[in-house]
Amino acid sequence: MRIEIITTIPQMIEAVASESILGRARKRGLIEVSAVNLRDFTSDRHRTTDDAPFGGGPGMVMKPEPVFAAVESLVSRGAGSKPRILLMTPQGRRFDQKFAEELSGESHVIIICGRYEGVDERIREHLATDEVSIGDYVLTGGELASLVILDAVSRLIPGVLGDETSPETDSFSSGLLEYPQYTRPADFRGLKAPEVLLSGNHAEVAKWRRVEALKRTLQRRPDLLESAPLSDEDRRLLREFETETS
Ligand code: 6GU
C-alpha cells in the first residue's frame, strides 16, 4: 500500500513514519510512505501555500493551485490506479476502526493536511474523495490527524505487526473493550494478579477474559454493546451484571 501525505511540514511526518513499527514496515516494503512537501508545487518566489479569505475575516486559507498540482502529480505517477484522496479537516467524517479497515484495503491513499483556518472550498468539492476528522476537538493542522490514520491503517496490513500479534483480537475489532492484562511478578507490593490467570486452565482463562471485557464495556462504553457481536451467554452475563450493580 502506498500512502502519500501532502503537507507544509514534511519533517513532522518523516519523524513518526521512520520509527518503531512503522519504520520497520517501511524498510520491509510492507508500506510505502512519502511525505510530500506542498511548497514544491508552488510557482511563486515565496512558495506561497495560503492567502487571505475572499470577503475578509481572520485567518488564512489554503490556496487551491499547489494542492491540485501536488495531487495531480501523485495521481499521474500512480499508473492508472484510482487513489482515495483524503482531506483532513475537523468538519469531516469521524475516523474509526471500521474506516481504518476500509482504507487498509486500498492500494493508494493520498492525504491532504488542511490547516485549521480552512482550505479553499474547491479542494473539498473537486479534489478530495473523503473529508476526515479524527474527533471532536480542534488541532492546529491536519498533520497529527494524518499520522493517526497512517498508524491505524498500517497496523492492519498483514505482516506489519509480526506474526504473533493479530489485530483481530483488538478492542473495537471484537466490538468490546479489552480485558485486563497482567505480567510478572504475580505479587507486586501485595497487589496480586488474578489466580485464574496463573492456573494454566485455558478454558477458565478465556471465560474470565470474556467476562471482564463485557463488564468493562458495560461500565465504560455501553454504546459499543449495541453493535458488538454477542452470544446468548454474553447477553445472560450482561443482564446478571446489570442486576448486580443496580
Ligand atoms: Cl483532521 N484537523 C484539524 N485541524 N483538527 C482536527 C482534525 C483534523 N480532526 C480532529 N480535529
Residue 59 has pLDDT above 60, yes or no: yes
Residue 116 Cβ contacting ligand 1 at under 6 Å: yes
pLDDT of residue 115: 83
Residue 236 has pLDDT above 80, yes or no: yes
Confidence of residue 92 (pLDDT cuts 50, 70, 90): very high
Q: What are the chain's domains? A: 2-154 (3.40.1280.10), 171-245 (1.10.1270.20)
DSSP 113-131: E-BTT-B-HHHHHHT-SEE
Active site residue 170: yes
pLDDT of residue 245: 81
pLDDT of residue 174: 84
Residues 165 and 143: their CA atoms lie apart, in Å, by 28
> Percent of the chain, pLDDT > 90?
90
Candidate from 20-24, 46-50, 170-174, 227-231 with smallest mean pLDDT: 170-174
Q: Which residue has the higher pLDDT, 140 or 172?
A: 140
pTM for the predicted model, two decimal places? 0.94
Ligand 1 centroid – CA 18 distance (Å)? 23
Q: Which helix (H) or strand (E) holds 205?
A: helix 202-220
pLDDT of residue 169: 63
Catalytic residue of the set 170, 178, 212, 234: 170
Give the pLDDT mean for 150-176. 85
Q: Is 120 exposed, middle or buried (0-12, 13-18, 19+ CB in 10 A)?
A: buried
Residue 138 Cβ contacting ligand 1 at under 6 Å: yes
Catalytic residue of the set 90, 120, 131, 167: 90
CA distances to 18, 111, 175, 227 from 147, in Å:
12, 10, 24, 27
Among 176, 92, 82, CA closest to 130: 92
Residues 131 and 150: their CA atoms lie apart, in Å, by 15
Residue 17 grid cell: 513514519
pLDDT of residue 143: 98
